[in-house]
Chain A
């Protein structure tokens, strides 16, 4: 049973950089999976941020792409998110998640496991 745990600062100053890490338990970061970030502003809906594969390949939400950097640390079985130039609009619960890259039949898969989420507030 896979478990995923987000970690990082809960408070970031405006114009700063939001940095989060997701540690994966029960699955290998080098398996055939996309490792993803999704966020949810308090009381609002879900927004996909992007995915990263262990080789470094990424998919990105076009509306956030210029501010997002994702990376993988195979030695620690974790992946990370950096979001630059943050504003109050970036205040949200940030979830990490995974989806299958390819199961032998199709490349299309939804998010099937999620972390519990971590609240990041952008405020001075």
Chain B
């Protein structure tokens, strides 16, 4: 069973900051990793898939990288609309812990 460890759990930042969130898999998942943004009361929204491919309509300030077991989501210049919780998801195999624990980005 693959476990996903996401860090940090909370991140305090300001508008304009460069922000990096990390997700680590307990075993290799190649590049079968996605990143989601979730705002309160809403469903998660797909930002990035295949570790680094930007979903259509997602601003270019979001980027993803990594392969194997270590992955990062970077927001190059944090905007007011980006304050939210971010989750990684591994979709290489069925797992009881497919999602990371989440990172809340707050002011």
Q: Chain A residues in contact with chain B, CB under 8 A?
A: 45-48, 59-64, 95, 97, 99, 108-112, 114-117
Contacts and interface: CB of A to CB of B under 8 A. Distances in A.
Interface of B: 1, 32, 34, 42-46, 49, 55, 87, 89, 91-92, 94-96, 98-102
A45 B99 contact: yes
Overall SS of chain B's interface: loop
A45 B101 contact: yes
A47 B42 CA distance: 15
A108 to B, nearest CB: 5
A75 to B, nearest CB: 26
A82 to B, nearest CB: 19
Nearest to A64: B96
Contacts, number: 56
A109 B89 CA distance: 10
B91 A108 contact: yes
Given A45-B99, A45-B102, A108-B91, A62 B1 contact: yes
A83 B15 CA distance: 43
Contact of B44 (A60, A99, A114): A114
A62 B42 CA distance: 27
Contacts of A63: 96
Nearest to B44: A114
A79 B65 CA distance: 35
B43 A47 contact: no
